[in-house]
Amino acid sequence: MSIYDTLNDMQKEAVLHTEGPLLILAGAGSGKTRVLTHRIAYLIEEKGVNPWNILAITFTNKAAGEMRERVDKLVGFGSESVWVSTFHSTCVRILRRYIDRLGYDTNFTIYDADDQKTLMKDICKYLQIDTKIYKERALLGMISSAKDEMITPEEYELQAEGDFGRKKVAAVYKEYEKQLRANNALDFDDLLLKTVQLLKTQPDVLENYQQRFRYIMVDEYQDTNTVQFEFVHLLAKKYRNLCVVGDDDQSIYKFRGANIKNILSFEEVFEDARVIKLEQNYRSTSMILNAANAVIRNNYGRKDKTLWTANGEGEKILMREFDTAYDEADYIVSDIKSRVNNAEGDYNRFAVLYRTNAQSRMFEEKLVVSNVPYKIIGGVNFYARREIKDLLCYLKTIDNGKDDLAVRRIINVPKRGIGLTTINRVQEYALAHEVSFYEALLGADLIPGIGRGLSKIESFAALIEHFKAEAGQKSISQLLEEIIEVTGYVKELEDEGGEEAEGRIENIEELQNKVIAYEEACEGTPKLSEFLEEVALVADIDSLDESRDYVVLMTLHSAKGLEFPHVYLAGMEDGLFPSYMTIMADSPEDLEEERRLCYVGITRAMEQLTMTYAKRRMVRGETQYNKMSRFLKEVPVELVSTGKKFSFEEKGQAETKQNLSVQAKQNFKAQPFGKMSSYGSARPVQQFAVTKGKGPGYDVGDYVTHVKFGKGLVTAITEGGRDYEVTVEFERFGVKKMFAAFAKLRKVDE
C-alpha cells in the first residue's frame, strides 16, 4: 500500500496537485502538516523534483522542527536538502550571504525586544522626546507596523507632513534606522524587509533564489503580513508553484500586523489558483467541533467551511458560572487535581487558557497551594534573563564589535569601576567621530576627560581582544567557559549567595548545556554567529516540553497550533473576552478577530472542554461586574452541560447575601431616586463633577478608550472649574478636547 493511500480524499487531492498556485483551506486539526510533508515526499519520489528546489516555510521553530522530522522519515535520503524553516530563519540565511549589497557586514547582530527597548531609550534621550507622551513601546510598535507595510523612514516622513505627532515618530524612526545601521544590527522586522529590498534591487539574487526554490509551500498563511506576502510573491513569481495552507478562521494576529486579506483574496492575486478544503478533523469530538462551528458561523469575513469528525460524539461541553474569579480558579484547580487522583490521566493532559496574562496570577496561587505542578508559557523568555543576556552580549561583542548596545551592557559587568560619566564620554566621542563605541574604546587615550578611567577601559578592551583571538582557536562552549572564568561572573554570584543567585547560576549552566547541544547537532564546524542567530530566533512557545508532567497555563494567542485532551477556557465574560475595547470599537472586524480567538481556544480541546466565567472580578483595583460572554451564548444549548452554580461560600453566608439582595431591591423600589449602598440605605445621586486635585483617573501619557472614538493617547489635562479638560489624540479620529466627566474615558493598557 502506498503512503498516499492513508490520506483522505481531500488530503490526497491537495498532495497530488503540484503545479500552479494552490490554496489549501485547512480547518483546525485537519492534518495540514501531514498534507505538506506528504506533498514534499510526492514531489521528490513521484515527480522527480530535486529536494534542493523545495522550500517549506512555517512560523515557529517548533512547527519547522516537527515538519523537518516528518519529512526526514518519509523521504529518507536527500531530505536534508529541502529547506524547512521559519520566515525569519529563511531570510537570515539569504542575508548572511548577500546583505553586504545593502551596505551591512554579513556578521550582523539580530536585536531582540530587550535590545530594541534599550536602543529606543537612548534615541528618546538623544532627540529629547517626552516619553510620558511618546512611550518607547508605542514608538517601537509604530515603527514595526511601518516596516510590516514596507514603509521606509523617508516615506513615513512624507506621509507625516502636517501632522505634528507623526512627524515626531518619523524623526524617531529615522534615528532608529541610523543607529541600527551604525551598530551593524537588524531587528526582527528588518530580517524580512531587508530581504525584500535585496530581492527587489538585486535581479541576480532574485533570479538565483527563484531558480533555487521552484516549489514553495507556506504554512499558517492566514498569519502573514504585507512584507511576508511580498517575499513569498517575489520568490514564486517565475514558476508559480506556490502552495499556501491556512485557515482564515484562525487568523488572530492582527495586532502583530497579520493581514487576513492575504488568504481571503488569494484567488484574486492568483486567478488560476485551485482551492481545496480540508474539513475532516482528527483531533476533537463532535460536541467540541459543533460548538466551534456554531460560534465561528457568526463571522461574515470568512470562507465557508464546516468541521466534522469520525471520532465520535464525546462528552458535552461543561459550562460553569461562579460568583468571583477566586471561585473560578479554585474550581478549575480542584477539578484538575480530582481528575488526576481518579486516574483520568497525568497533569500534562490539562491546559488552562485565558485572554490576558494578568489572569494567570490567581491560577498560579491556587496551583501552588494545591501542590499541582504547572508551567506558564509566555513568561520571561530564557534568553531575556539578565545573566543570559550578559553572557550573550560578551559573545555578541566578540562576534560583532560594532554592536554598541552589547559592548555598553558588559563594559562594567561584572563591576570594573567604569562609571556612567566615563561611558557617556566614550559615547560622545564615538558619535562625534562617527566610529563605533568599541572602536572608541580601543583609542581611549585620545578621548579628553577620561582621566583615571583610562586604565580600566584599556584593560576591558584588552580582555575583549584576547577573547576575539581565542574565538578563532576554541569551540563556542570553551569560549563561553573562558568568559565565565576570566570575568569572574559566576564567582561574583557565588559570593553574593542566596536563592536568586543560585537560580541565576543554574540558568548559566543551562546556557552551557544549550551551547554543547548546539555543537553536537551542528553539521560541519559550529560558528559563533550562527549560534547567536539561532538563539535570537527562539520563540517562547518553543519552550513547551510536552513530555513533562505539568499543567500548562497560557494565553489563547500562545495556544495556537497546540492541542490538549482537556482544555479550560477561563474568564468567558463580556468586557474581558471579548474585551471592552473590542465591544465598543466602531469596526466589526475587531469583534470578528476576538471570535476567531474563541474558535482557536475551543478547537484546542481533544476530549473535554470546560468554559467558565465569573460574575465579578477585580480589574485594576476595582470590582467589575460582568455578563456572560456573548461567545458562550453562541454555543447551542443542546451541546452544553451547566451543572450546578458553583460558589465556595457557606450556605449561611449565601443566604445572608440573598437576603441583602432582596432588601436592596425593595429599598430601590421604595426610593427610586436614591443610589443604594451595599447595605440597602439610600445615598445621594453622584454628580458629574470631578473633585479637583484628585485627577480624572488617568494621566498624560496614558492610553484611554472612548465609547465613540475608540483608543487614544492623553496628551494634556487642564484643571478648570468643576471638571478637567482632557486632550486626547485618538488613533482614528485625531485630536479631541473634552470634559472628563462627560467623556467617561477609561484607562486601558497599551
Other C-beta atoms lying within 10 Å of the C-beta of residue 35: 25
Listed in sequence order, the residues at least 6 apart from 80 whose beta carbon sits closer than 8 Å to its beta carbon are 51, 72
- Using left for φ > 0, alpha for ψ between -120 and 50, and beta otherwise, residue 58 falls in beta
Instruction: Given the residues 33, 131, 512, 715, select the one marked as catalytic.
Output: 33
Instruction: Given the residues 195, 222, 250, 359, select the one marked as catalytic.
Output: 250
* CA-closest candidate to residue 489, choices 423, 422, 418, 416: 416
219 belongs to the catalytic site: yes
Dihedral angle at the C-alpha atoms of 633, 636, 637, 641, nearest 10 degrees? -90
Q: Which residues pair with 566 in a beta bridge?
A: 350, 608
Whether the CB-CB separation of 501 and 385 falls below 8 Å is answered with: no
604 belongs to the catalytic site: yes
DSSP strand pairing (605-619 vs 622-625): antiparallel
Instruction: Given the residues 112, 175, 219, 702, select the one marked as catalytic.
Output: 219
349 belongs to the catalytic site: no
32 belongs to the catalytic site: yes
Instruction: Given the residues 302, 456, 504, 604, select the one marked as catalytic.
Output: 604
Instruction: Given the residues 187, 220, 230, 723, select the one marked as catalytic.
Output: 220
247 belongs to the catalytic site: no
**Rg of the Cα trace of the chain?**
29
487 belongs to the catalytic site: no
* CA-closest candidate to residue 730, choices 574, 581, 592: 581
Distances (CA, A) of 685 to 215, 675, 689: 70, 6, 12
Residue by residue, what is the 3-state secondary structure of 347-393? Answer: HHHEEEEECCHHHHHHHHHHHHHCCCCEEEECCCCHHHCHHHHHHHH
Cell of 61: 521553530
Instruction: Spell out the long-range contacts of 523-528 with Cβ–Cβ below 8 A and sequence spacing 24 or more.
Output: 526/475, 526/476, 528/395, 528/398, 528/399, 528/471, 528/476, 528/479
Going along 369-467, which residue ranges are E strands? 374-377
Give me the active site residues, please. Answer: 32-33, 219-220, 250, 604
